[in-house]
Amino acid sequence: MARYDTSDNNADRPRPPFQRTEQVMMASIKEAIDKAVGDADDEAPDIAKRLPPHYFQRAALHLLFLQVCGADSETSQRGDRGVARRLLHVGRSVASQWDDGGRDPRIEQDSRQREDLANGAERAALRIVLQTLVEHASASDPGLRDEISNAADAYLMRLVSQSATETEFAELTRGFVSTFAGTALSEQQTF
């Protein structure tokens, strides 16, 4: 943001015109993000509570990054790699100033990638175990898959919002239940 001290003790000092413009722009962006957070909470409070901290700020940063790089905001394709590299370099440079132990930021990224890999492996293992358990239990209880499907449908019917996020959540839930239990959930509208 601005490179000048904007604290109250300098309030009387004249500011360059671009600094005031930058401050107005940043205030507008913050206001828009705050409004998005409020709208999401009004639209789907259960889902909004589960969003990670600073979700909307990260989403805005992602879209701004794509826009500055000239990439398609829907597909993240066809951007200028040189611009992207320079922006990422600036971000790494800023983050390296915050490091308290002189750690290489790439090591932290490698750690996150390993964590993502471990999470993916855990999900795959859970899928295999659940599918095997359902398959085994279905041999002695042929109605088990229908019970699982009905329980998932009943849960999804309790969702009352008609937001795109909850519709996607319902579709993903149906897909996961179908994958885990080997069933096809009803295609009825849940909202």
pLDDT score for 190? 40
pTM of the model: 0.38
Domain boundaries, the chain: 105-181
What does the alpha-carbon distance between residue 173 and residue 152 come to, in Å, rounded to a whole number? 8
Spans in the chain with pLDDT lower than 50: 1-8, 185-191
Spatial distance between the Cα atoms of 168 and 31, rounded to a whole number of angstroms: 27
Inter-CA distances, 91 with 85, 87, 102, 156, 179, Å: 10, 6, 16, 41, 40
